[in-house]
Amino acid sequence: LLDINDVEGLADFVVEWMQKQNG
């Protein structure tokens, strides 16, 4: 299991990745 800090870090990573895909 991931702790909450890992989840928040992963969410930030996914948001940045999605923005790059849209670009």
Give per-residue pLDDT as tens, 1-23.
Answer: 668 889 999 999 999 999 999 87
Give 4-8 contacts, CB < 8 A, sequence gap 24+: none
- Burial code (b: 16+ CB inside 10 Å, e: under 16) for 1-23 equals eeeeeeeeeeeeeeeeeeeeeee
What is the rounded CA–CA span in Å between residue 23 and residue 11? 18
**Which residues make Cβ contacts (< 8 Å) with residue 10, sequence separation at least 6?**
2
Q: What is the pLDDT of residue 19?
A: 96
Q: Whole-prediction pTM value?
A: 0.49
